[in-house]
Structures are given as C-alpha cells and as structure tokens.
Amino acid sequence: MNPTIALECIDCGRVFVPADERLVCPDHDGVGGILDVQYDQSGAHDAIEAGIGDGIDDLWKYAPLLPTDGHAVDLGAGGTPLLDAPTLSRELGVTVRLKDERGNPTGSIKDRASAVLTSRALAGDESVLTCASTGNAAASLAGYAARTGLDCCIFVPADVPEGKAVQPLVYGADVYAVDGDYDDAFSLCRRVAANREWYDCSAAVNPYAVEGLRTVGHELAEQSRASVPDWIVYPMGNGCGLAATWKGFREFAELGIVEECPRLLGVQAEGATAIHDRFTGEPARADGGETQADSIDVGHPHNAQKACRALEDSGGATVVVSDREILDAERTLGRTEGIYAEPASAATLAGLESAVEAGVVAPGDSATLVVTGTGLKDTASARDLVDGVDHVPDTPAAVPDPE
Ligand SMILES: *Cc1c(COP(=O)(O)O)cnc(C)c1O
Ligand SMILES: [Zn+2]
C-alpha cells in the first residue's frame, strides 16, 4: 500500500497529488517552493507498533511509513546503534549519546535518503539518476544506483575531498566536478536534469530524500523511548536532515511510541550560517565564506524553511562554531569514544560544547549527537590535528611505553 496522499508546498500551501511527479511548487523562484510529503498512516499504525522494541535490522522496518510503492532497495541502510558516551558525558557534565550513522553502506546518513529515492526511481521507471552534492549524497546515490542497475550522473563542487570523489567513481557513476561551489553544482544539475528528464535526487529539492532521512528520527524515538533526550544535536547544511529527524520523531510521538519530543540543537559552521541567521533573525554574515566541514558548506540552503519550522516546533536553538572548534571536536570524539567522524559530524560536539558554555544546554541535561558520517573519506582535513607517526629503529627496546 502506498500511504502517500499529498505533497504540500511549504511556502504557499498549494497541494499536489503524487501522480503529478512534481519536485517543487512552480509558483516560486530561487530556493522556494519545497514540498512536504504527507501520508494517511492510519493503516500502518498496528504494524509499526507491533514491532517496536524488537530490534532494528535496517530502515525497511518502517516500510509501512515509506512512500516506495512496495519497492525496497536493500543495501543495509539504517539500523544504526545509539551509543553511550561515558567519557564525553563526564567531561561535559551532560549525558551524551551518539547516534552513529557511520556504519551505513556508503559511510553516511545519506544512505537513508538514497534507499527511498532509488526505490521510488524503480517504482517510477526512471532510468538516469542525478544529484548535486557536497560529497556524501553523491557517493551514496552512486552506490545505490549501482545496486539497482540504474545510470548515475553526479555534480560536485571542485574542492570536494578526494575520498568523496573516488568513491562514486568506484560505484561506476559519472562524476562532474563543477568549477565553483555547491550552489553552482546544484544549479547545473537542475538545468541538466530538466533538459534530459533525469531523476533529480538532490536532497535540496527532491522531497522524498527527507522522507528517507526521517527514519533516523523513527530509530531515535524507538531506541530512546525509555529516556528521551533533552536535545538532539544535528549539523545543518541544507537543513534536510534536521527537519527529517524532527518529522520522524514527532510521528512516533503522535503514535504514542514516545511520550515526549526532544528539542533540536542545529549546528552550523562560521563559513555557512544561513539557517542560523534566518532562525535567530541575525543579519546575514557578509563573508559568506567557506568551511572545512564540507558537508555543511552550503551558502544558500534550500530547506532552511523546513529546518526553521522544526527548530521552532521543538523549542530548539541554533549555534555557530568555528572550523578550529570543529576540528578540535573531531579529535575529542576520536580520543574519548573511539569515534572517527568527519568534520560536519564533529560539529555537533563543538556545538554542544558551545551551547553548554552559553547556558543554552544546562548541566545535567541529556543530548544525543547525530554522527552523520565517517572521517575515513577525508583524512586530509584531520592530518593537521595529529602528530605524525614516530619512526623507530627495528629493536624492541627503542619503543617507548604509552604516555
Ligand atoms: C549532508 C550531510 C550533513 C548535512 O545535512 P543537510 O541535510 O544538508 O543539512 C551533515 N553531515 C553529513 C556527514 C552529511 O553528509
Ligand atoms: Zn508554492
């Protein structure tokens, strides 16, 4: 059964039926007119409720809530662990847990979106998939396209980290590095997709990306129903992931699976603060700079409105952190908990530290950080954080004890 009933424009409220196959509302220019997928879930409640607490193999556990018409491309996305973080908790005076998305099939949370997008592509008889991406979404879509046998053509900014460019190539995708930033890659992707009738899977415009991502909210609700955290901390680029987390969690609150909802703490980097600026009403920063946290280096986020709405609904807050703080946090996550995350993911820890300092998060609160992606794709950005290896002669006595 397909539970999708309507797609509603989040700007003007105009409603489309799924058969329109529209990605955006035509009544807006620029970054407006994003759609929100709405469901009739009454038929799904019993099946979902019956499975709560039985363990989560992957995101297809929530298939009755997903708009995939019975298709389910299976590469193992979702079903990720929610880990305690005892050392960090002690150091911060806040009970920290980590929703560890690094174990997804291509190494990031984007696989939740790709699983649903490729399943829809099969349902809709699409033949060529495309997206613009800061890196992880491209790698993810390419992996899932390979799995489904569909062609894949992706657009990335010219300064994409090496690992994130090689990965989709190994999956057999055509990868185009656009001379410019993410916004330029996005714009070219839109134009080519419109021309050739390719299926544009860019999370910034394809509403079904958020629908897949929202399974992280379902999982967080199911896994923390004994003790809902005060805060969920999420790094914001386009704002899709944060909005999706809220949508999923809130759905499970409405189903009665959890009794309350957390507040959202959305984190941005100093070089890309558009959602923070919009949420707080602070004037946009002139520098419009850059950040080494490439996955959240988005100058003109397309889902700022969905993100701001989620922040508002949850009674949440935003925080901006510097690249220095992000990279320090990357090392701290590794040192304290054995988690090697990419800079965008480590931004959640930097954001939590900053929010604790500012008194936004109170001592004794609990906070779950969404560790959105692995650090292994971008070792170059971590290289400056660590000392080099020590060279030793080939004799045991020359090897010192650990410090
Ligand atoms: C895409 C991504 C983000 C940001 O998600 P948005 O939906 O663009 O806000 C954060 N971290 C990682 C690792 C990502 O791949
Ligand atoms: Zn509209």
pLDDT score at 1:
46
**Average confidence score pLDDT of the chain:** 93
Minimum-distance ligand 1 atom for the alpha carbon of 101 = 13
* Ligand 1, atom 3, residue with closest C-alpha: 295
Count of domains for the chain: 1
Specify if 143 maps to a domain: no
Query: What ligand is nearest to the CA atom of residue 9?
Result: 2
Would you state the pLDDT for residue 284? 75
Confidence bin at 286 (pLDDT 50/70/90) = low
In a domain, 394, yes or no: no
**What's the mean pLDDT in 248-268?**
96
pLDDT at 2 over 60: no
Instruction: Give the orientation angle of helix 304-313 with respect to helix 240-254, to 10 degrees.
Output: 40
Give a yes or no: residue 23 inside a domain: no
Which pTM does this prediction carry? 0.96
Q: Which residue among 80, 109, 234, 291 has the greatest number of ligand 1 atoms within 8 angstroms of its CB, and so is best to mutate?
A: 109
Residue 228 lies in a domain: yes
Average pLDDT over residues 303-307: 93
Domain boundaries, position 315: 82-107+209-383
Model confidence at 290, in pLDDT bands (50, 70, 90)? confident
Q: Of 257-271, 280-294, 340-354, which gets the smallest average pLDDT?
A: 280-294
| pLDDT at residue number 288 | 58
The answer to the question of residue 232 being in a domain is: yes
22 pLDDT tier (thresholds 50, 70, 90): confident
Least confident of 62-66, 221-225, 362-366, 386-390: 386-390
Residue 112 inside a domain? The answer is: no
302 alpha carbon – ligand 2 mean position (Å): 14
Q: Decide if 47 is inside a domain.
A: no
Please write the tens of the pLDDT for every residue from 143-189: 999 999 999 999 999 988 888 889 999 999 999 999 998 889 999 99
CATH number for the domain spanning 319: value is 3.40.50.1100
Ligand 1 pocket mutation, candidates 31, 108, 333, criterion most atoms within 8 A of CB: 108
pLDDT at residue 344 tops 60: yes
Nearest ligand by distance to the CA of 24: 2
Mutate to test the pocket of ligand 1, among 106, 160, 295, 326 (most ligand atoms within 8 A of CB): 295
Q: Does residue 125 have a pLDDT over 90? A: yes
User: Closest ligand to 29 CA?
Assistant: 2
pLDDT number for residue 386: 85
Ligand 1: which residues within 6 Å by Cβ?
108, 110, 136, 203, 235-242, 295-296, 342, 344-345, 372-373
- The rounded Å distance from CA 25 to ligand 2 centre is 5
Tell me: the pLDDT tens digits for 359-396? Answer: 999 999 999 999 999 999 988 888 888 888 889 999 99
Please report whether residue 320 resides in a domain: yes
